[in-house]
Amino acid sequence: MNIDQATGRLFLIGIPGTEIDEETENILRDIRPGAIILFSKNIIDADQVRALIEDVNRVLGYQVAVAIDQEGGIVTRLREGFSVSPGAMALAATGRVENTYEASRIMAMEMKALGVNWNLAPVVDINCNPRNPGIGVRSFGDTAGKVIAHATAFVNAMRAEGVMSCLKHFPGKGRVSVDAHIDLPTLDVPLSTIMEDELRPFREVPVDSMMPSHIYMPQLQHSRVPASMSREILTDLARETLGYRGILVADDLGMGGVSNYFSPEEAAVEGLRSGMDYLTYCHNPDVQRRAKRALIKAVESSPELGRRLEESLERVEIFRRKASSVERGSLECIGTSENRRKMQAISDESITTILEDSSLIPLPVESITAIYTVRLSRQIQVEDGPKRGTPGVARELAQMVDSPLIDFDTKLSVEEATKLAESAPRKGVRIVFTENAHLSDGQRTLLTLLSQKTGRLLVIALRNPYDAFIEGVKNAVLCYGYETVSQKSLIKVLHGEIRATGVLPVEVPQEV
């Protein structure tokens, strides 16, 4: 294998579209990657995805590792026609790791049928900071024990179906308050704290690969660079302190946590030099080419970097062969009525209520005087939720009670919230659907002001459960995501068709 081929095998790249056109064929031949990653832009249906993967392998002349972010919940790439799982926090809210195993097994079975052999999941960040903008419901909870139990079930289910998994985001992003898609978060806590909390899942969950992210740890690093290109994190911490011998795959090196500080060329060279195995460039073919050219040039001029290339090449080739060796199943297993029934049953167990007034569930339809709803939005770049805008469950409820539906933006201002509250009915039950209201001054203001009026307030938190603990909120329903399965479960609870049996997977925060 020559240097062009060897460096190419260290690249995990995204491709432009849903088929192999001339542009896609050229980038595949130029990079000759060891792995590709699929996004929603690459997916139409099962037949098309399977054909796309076959064509990628045909063009390259060897089988690549095929990665995808199929976490479940708000990060779900395989959606239409597939069996969609509730997200991590919703699974944990069912209180049963068996549900996490079964939902993950169904996802893995459908992935394998396509030829997708590497799931960049589960998230094992411990969501101990309610104000974390990028993790939240993608985490199984706010304790290491809960995360480890459910992540282990997730990984074991993937393995049972022959799909590789990936623990992310090493060394842990649950405590930070900045989204690494936008900028570089800082995790400034002692190593002893990290070892007792953040690093426990990475030590204790069986693992095929780990994804270092873009985070700065001043207690461990001498200079302010992302963990994804820091020798102190990739080599000293992961390899020497933890004794990890598997694959390290970079989170997208085009994210703001890297690109605000390093060029694509610098990121590739420093990532490999510091200990990364797979270098991830998800979107821009020109950037992918530039990064590879820079890496070849650097390797040719540095014996040390050449040795690092050989080390990583050995690891990624073993991984690639293992990932691509699993036989695909039949496409007929995808989206079956039985798989969807199981996913819905699991989702039904996740809905959680926190009620001071138990008479609010089932809904007293005749007492509802106003329904307010947030318009769903893409709050983090990795998110890939269902249709944006007014949630279907809110529309259905408004039709059921023959009430106007008053919608508002997630970034509702305090002034707009005050006007909405002032015009609210002075009696009856007022229902508000929220999305991360605890992170929005406007949504918080709306809830607090409505709670001060006569009558009753019921908050339906469509995303993070922390909305239930905003000042004035005494009655809330939590569904940890707004996938179709979650919305169906929610409406069942509101109608009284099923009881809400979910358990809160995070401790009540002292303040939100």
Which of these is catalytic: 181, 208, 277, 467? 181
What is the spatial distance between Cα 11 and Cα 312, in angstroms, rounded to a whole number?
Answer: 11
Q: Tell me the per-residue pLDDT of 184-195, one tens digit each, with 9 for 90 and over.
A: 888 888 889 999
What's the pTM? Answer: 0.95
Comparing C-alpha atoms, which of 419, 392, 415, 406 is closest to residue 490? Answer: 392
DSSP character string of 216-265: B-TTT-SS---GGG-HIIIIIIIIIIS---SEEBPPPTTSHHHHTTS-HH
Predicted pLDDT at 382: 67
CATH numbers and ranges of domains, the chain = 9-330 (3.20.20.300), 351-495 (3.40.50.1700)
- 251 assigned to active site: yes
Predicted pLDDT at 364: 94
Which of these is catalytic: 125, 251, 252, 384? 251
Q: Tell me the per-residue pLDDT of 168-210, one tens digit each, with 9 for 90 and over.
A: 999 999 888 777 777 788 888 888 999 999 999 999 999 889 9
What is the spatial distance between Cα 127 and Cα 141, in angstroms, rounded to a whole number?
Answer: 6
Q: What does DSSP say about strands 475-478 and 75-76: parallel, antiparallel, or unpaired? A: unpaired
- 222 assigned to active site: no
Predicted pLDDT at 404: 85
Comparing C-alpha atoms, which of 201, 127, 208 is closest to residue 170? Answer: 201
Predicted pLDDT at 257: 80
The low-confidence residues of the chain, meaning pLDDT below 50, are none
Predicted pLDDT at 134: 85
Predicted pLDDT at 380: 61
Predicted pLDDT at 510: 62
